[in-house]
Amino acid sequence: MRWKKRGLVLEPPLGLPWARSHAALPVIDSLSDAGIALFFSARDGQGRARIARAELSLDGSARPCISRDPVLDLGSLGAFDDGGVTSSCVVDHDGRRYLYYTGWARGVSVPFYLFVGCAISDGGAFVRVSSAPVLERSAVDPYLTASPSVLVEEGRWRMWYVSGTGWRSENGRAKHWYHVKYAESDDGITWRRDGRVCIDYASEAEHAIGRPCVLRGRDGYLMWYCARGSAYRLGFAESQDGLTWIRRDDELALDGSQEEWDAEMQAYPVVFDLAGKRHMLYNGNGYGRTGIGYAVLE
């Protein structure tokens, strides 16, 4: 699985009061021959993320157009997402659009808390389904939930999401551990989970497996994600049923010159098909500080 790097397609917006840095966690909104529309996360001067929307062409023939206002703003004071909202995935179902996102809240003993939220659009603005998360802490997810990838199959909603397994103090700072688990739902709002782990740590050096992107293939399921030891790198796994996965990270290769924007890190992939080719959007250095790039499967 060799991907040809094509460079940056979206640099961080810098001229908006709520978007001073970063273009992170791309999510496909719509596709057409003229280009793509995507959601992404930008940060304000205090580091708080909001979800933005942009329209762009992958060949660079059109200047990106970025929304003047956020698609989803900060949650209300004291809510699980008052410290930031970051994009995860969009599901179109029965005429409604479900925007799943990660809500951030600042912590004391640890730097942040993360939980999965959902907002729905009936054709207009996205409105939160609740001021509470749809994936709160539980006995199987006692620390955090984040970054869901959701598919709907014959009425069954299936979610692959990030789940925290703990925090440790290293050099006076709290360091997180998280991997990928599985949940199901009948309506996309109320989820059942039993602690099923889909992508676990490959070694003791690995401590974070982030942002799964799951597609249904002809012979099963495909998942792209990022895994972190010293720095995030892209990973890939396959499954027959979406439950038992085989990691094949070594089979994923990004061909192309080491550019300044992604030389240190590749993270947060989203994969889609357009014009008969498979494409990937992903982030580079600084968790999206350098913007969004893309690659094409050869």
Taking only the tens place, the pLDDT of each residue in 232-263 is: 999 999 999 999 999 999 999 998 877 789 99
* Torsion angle (degrees, nearest 10) of CA 90, 8, 225, 190: -20
Pairing of β 2-10 and β 253-255: parallel
Q: How far is CA 173 from the centre of its chain?
A: 25
Amino acid at 184: E
Strand partners, 192: 184
* CATH number of the domain residue 8 falls in: 2.115.10.20
pLDDT averaged over every residue in the chain: 95
50, 20 Cβ separation under 8 angstroms: no
Chain segment 96-128, per-residue pLDDT in tens: 999 999 999 999 999 999 999 999 999 999 999
Instruction: Write out the two tokens for 39.
Output: 């959601």
Instruction: Write out the two tokens for 55.
Output: 């329209």
Residue 282 has a pLDDT of 97
Confidence check: pLDDT of 92 > 90: yes
Q: How far is CA 165 from CA 49, 80, 174, 222, in A?
A: 24, 19, 13, 24
Distance between CA atoms of residues 123 and 142, nearest Å:
35
Q: Structural domain of residue 146, as residue ranges?
A: 2-297
Amino acid at 57: S
Confidence check: pLDDT of 13 > 90: no
Residue 258 has a pLDDT of 72
Residue 63 has a pLDDT of 83
232: helix, strand or coil? strand
Chain segment 115-172, per-residue pLDDT in tens: 999 999 999 999 999 999 999 999 999 999 999 999 999 999 999 999 999 999 999 9
Amino acid at 33: D
Q: How far is CA 263 from CA 76, 124, 165, 259, 289, in A?
A: 37, 39, 29, 6, 13
209, 201 Cβ separation under 8 angstroms: yes
Instruction: Please write down the long-range contacts of 143-146, taking CB distance under 8 Å and 24 or more positions apart.
Output: 143/167, 143/176, 143/178, 144/113, 144/114, 144/115, 144/176, 144/178, 145/114, 145/115, 145/116, 146/88, 146/102, 146/114, 146/115, 146/116, 146/178, 146/210
3-class SS string, 95-157: CEEEEEEEEEEECCCCCEEEEEEEEEECCCCCEECCCCCCECCCCCCCCCEEEEEEEEECCEE
Distance between CA atoms of residues 49 and 147, nearest Å:
14
In which band, very low, low, confident or very high, does the pLDDT at 275 lie, cut at 50, 70 and 90? confident
Report the domain count for the chain: 1
Instruction: Write out the two tokens for 284.
Output: 């580079």
